[in-house]
Structure 1
């Protein structure tokens, strides 16, 4: 925290200390406290700000792209590697196949497939488990809206509709452990994983191939680097501000200022999601930090094992909106990783940048939520009229918070940040996932790298079919600014 005056909606710096995430209980010995070099390099071709899934895959794509030979990539992380939203999420990856824009559904399905195949092909030990995803609805209007979209998809995009089915039968809902739901959508593509270990593998692999030894050999003038450039990770190095240099003869257009020194860069990629507006204040109304909370709940003796991942949605007339998400770990204590309950927190967490404390009201909700959302078996048997069962709490092994980046129009912002939006040539971003980054971020990183390096083959600057809804354009910014603010839209449950 630097004590600067923040604009309305602008993110503050990441908390120096943070709550302890379940996913950080086995930190990487390579990455913890890692600084590839003792001091910051004076220059870099690309500075990546942030080391979550976006930053990690962007760095990998930069080093492996045809235009990336010799590219010097410096990654700056305010805290430990993957200590932000990716290391604090709910541990599931599920594309939404019935979103209103089919192009987005296709992109999310493509990202899911990419991650699944990437994990398998590299045998990454991140507990990736492919399964089916259940969207459980507890109010009829939400179910009706989803069913209508799927019916429309059956006519216009049957390949998407084939991956989602509506369930209304009481027996089938009971089989899915959600007898209290009015209905559900079951999707064929979903997964649970250990997100921190996935990102750690990517970063460790980059360091192994392009880290200190490669940088030292180049600095010493030793032949054999094959022009591969280097990858340099600097943890516990928050970026204080960015300075635009304008056109220079050597191509360095940005000065990146940190408390440990400054680095001149040809390109800067903002992969810091909810904290993006900290460095570009003009984005404060477009990407707003929102605090979420998660708990790792211990299953009760005799409890049924879950074979699906879950999202629970409802708009009850007598309480906050329900928008929770759940996976069960496939091994160990088989904890139930449950996130959500924002509606019970003060201000729903909107505009909050600090993840160093637990909201006790939200914590209490999460420990009790599954008693009313699901029938898990085990524990105390419920009897007719047993209202106390709904108040029965599960034990939480870990409870933590994390900061998401909510986009004003609900879609990520991917591309170059124009001068009129506080950027200029060479400043890029991929951020604003609105709590849905796992099935979007990896290929958003690919898209922005393709734009940066000119490698896109689709005529639009990227080779992955980035939806137009994700691109940074003047018309999109103007449209977004004509909409409700993030706080107003969230109060109306528009992000549900």
Structure 2
């Protein structure tokens, strides 16, 4: 399908000239331009479309469960060039902002990924830290406090992962009023739980989550893909199947047939044969997994209203101050940050910040979609940045986060909070990189995981794992595991996937009557989590 034949709202293919992401500045020499075989394979057991975190981990789990399979992964651009390679560098479960069983699933994702990084010493700059969610809206902060209180009352194990920090008077220990604070924290750690010490002195309040991390997401995926390719080197006779990565090979369409008697390379007899169409030829297979996230509707037009491409923007910023003495430490903000809400617009702001290791001290700051045309909803082209969003990201950060060179001291044990100097309203920071990325916003805010029925353009052997609504890092890995278990019926390895994520006929029907993504998003990106309840 040519780009000018798209349905209204349907995604096009990834563009050839995307903006340069900070995470792509050190590409893998093995993956850049990689094609495992010069010619596109004509037959495969499984074809995976997409090479981000979902596709790479799906291939990882497939080869773990069925090493005999011939798996082909096709990617429209370079490996991990989509949302995973263009995100904000966070991995953090939404403990208080999700239903408890979904929060548990996201926490399991986080724990699994953290353990994998540690087990294989994956060089992806994984840094486990605490996540500070600073709220600048009294209305929104009241809602999230009630959400945390619900966890304290009903799900204390989950509540142990969060604490609420208010801007009220200090207690007798010199700490701000705290709710849900784990008893195992040391006194010094508790003293750090003040808005001032958290670098958000002017916030209405904050939620601190203990399970958070910053990382270099491209390097995580590159490690997984390189490890998969290495299995080919140890399998010269092909007895254990193969993994074949084909970059710069966009999938332009899918077609399905049911020819009797045709067998896949592993000898199984499929009930359907899928043909994957590309400019370089076709691949026949019995199983196709679309790990296509925002671009899903290009291949499945029926998903045009269900997974909507939405453009986000991020900048890598230089800190405002550098040490005057070379031996002094550079800026270290210690935590990862989400910056939520405005005083008079509770659901309007949803920004996010991590810092690269202090040796480089780059601040990776994303958000500002309210300044983009149409909030970026429906945009699938990541070839340009929005000047209004660039202006916002360069100038906004210093008004909400204390970027002074030295970590602000904890408040002394007095009963009145320390007076704060006002932060500057505008503090222009120099960007070293500015880029956009395309998220897949789901109509019901949940990922779509499972077999695609004929009514939605699918049929036996077509699978989907996509639609993370900007929250893929703590969801994608075990969602990929779940869809692989569905594909090959590994009951022992089944993931406890939230039922809201399952792709069913009933869910498709229910989604048809929901508000459109553009309308929900216009009310604010956090509306579905809190205001829409």
| TM-score bracket for the superposition, by shorter chain length | over 0.9
CA 1:352–1:187: 2 relative to 1, 3 Å: same
What is the Cα deviation at residue 4 of structure 1?
A: 4.1
What is the Cα deviation at residue 318 of structure 1?
A: 7.1
What is the Cα deviation at residue 267 of structure 1?
A: 0.4
Give the equivalent residue in structure 2 for 1:189.
Answer: 211
CA deviations on 1:409-459 (whole Å, 9 max, x unpaired) are 1010000001111110000011000000000001100000000010033xx
CA 1:208–1:96: 2 relative to 1, 3 Å: same
Whole-Å separation in 1 of the counterparts to 2:68 and 2:311: 39
Q: Do the aligned residues in 2 keep the contact of 1:136 with 1:185 (CA within 8 Å)? A: yes
What is the Cα deviation at residue 164 of structure 1?
A: 0.8
Q: Do the aligned residues in 1 keep the contact of 2:348 with 2:523 (CA within 8 Å)? A: no
Q: Do the aligned residues in 1 keep the contact of 2:399 with 2:427 (CA within 8 Å)? A: no
Query: After the TM superposition, which of the residue ranges 159-168 and 249-258 deviates more from structure 2?
Result: 249-258
- Structure 2: 5+ residue stretches without partners: 169-175, 177-193, 264-269, 324-329, 407-418
1:349-364 superposed matches below 5 A:
349-364=376-391
SS in 2 for 1:347: helix
280, 297, 309: which one aligns with 1:289: 309
Whole-Å separation in 2 of the counterparts to 1:247 and 1:446: 30
Give the equivalent residue in structure 2 for 1:147.
Answer: 145
Give the equivalent residue in structure 2 for 1:260.
Answer: 280
Q: Do the aligned residues in 2 keep the contact of 1:87 with 1:195 (CA within 8 Å)? A: yes
Whole-Å separation in 1 of the counterparts to 2:259 and 2:458: 14
Whole-Å separation in 2 of the counterparts to 1:7 and 1:315: 36
Query: After the TM superposition, which of the residue ranges 140-149 and 403-412 deviates more from structure 2?
Result: 140-149
Instruction: Provide the TM-score with structure 2 as the length reference.
Output: 0.86
Give the equivalent residue in structure 1 for 2:87.
Answer: 89
Q: Do the aligned residues in 1 keep the contact of 2:396 with 2:427 (CA within 8 Å)? A: no
1:97-176 superposed matches below 5 A:
97-169=95-167, 172-176=194-198
1:22-61 superposed matches below 5 A:
22-61=22-61
Q: Do the aligned residues in 1 keep the contact of 2:140 with 2:347 (CA within 8 Å)? A: no
Q: Do the aligned residues in 2 keep the contact of 1:100 with 1:149 (CA within 8 Å)? A: no
Q: Do the aligned residues in 2 keep the contact of 1:40 with 1:261 (CA within 8 Å)? A: yes
Q: Do the aligned residues in 2 keep the contact of 1:50 with 1:78 (CA within 8 Å)? A: yes
274, 280, 301: which one aligns with 2:322: 301
CA 1:70–1:154: 2 relative to 1, 3 Å: same
Give the equivalent residue in structure 2 for 1:469.
Answer: 500
What is the Cα deviation at residue 396 of structure 1?
A: 0.6
Give the equivalent residue in structure 1 for 2:467.
Answer: 432
Whole-Å separation in 2 of the counterparts to 1:489 and 1:110: 28
Q: Do the aligned residues in 2 keep the contact of 1:415 with 1:471 (CA within 8 Å)? A: yes
Q: CA RMSD in A?
A: 2.0
Q: Do the aligned residues in 2 keep the contact of 1:133 with 1:190 (CA within 8 Å)? A: yes
CA deviations on 1:77-134 (whole Å, 9 max, x unpaired) are 0000000000000001000111341111000000000000000000010000000001
Q: Do the aligned residues in 1 keep the contact of 2:201 with 2:420 (CA within 8 Å)? A: no
Whole-Å separation in 2 of the counterparts to 1:295 and 1:306: 17
Whole-Å separation in 1 of the counterparts to 2:88 and 2:301: 29
Whole-Å separation in 2 of the counterparts to 1:175 and 1:308: 11
1:2 equivalent in alignment to 2:37: no
- Structure 1: 5+ residue stretches without partners: none
1:280 equivalent in alignment to 2:315: no
1:201 equivalent in alignment to 2:223: yes
Give the equivalent residue in structure 2 for 1:447.
Answer: 482
What is the Cα deviation at residue 331 of structure 1?
A: 4.3
Whole-Å separation in 2 of the counterparts to 1:257 and 1:349: 29
Runs of 4+ displaced beyond 4 Å: 383-387
CA 1:319–1:189: 2 relative to 1, 3 Å: closer
Query: After the TM superposition, which of the residue ranges 41-50 and 298-307 deviates more from structure 2?
Result: 298-307
What is the Cα deviation at residue 210 of structure 1?
A: 2.7
Whole-Å separation in 1 of the counterparts to 2:149 and 2:219: 38
Q: Give the aligned length.
A: 477
Q: Report which of the two structures shows the higher radius of gyration computed on alpha carbons.
A: 2
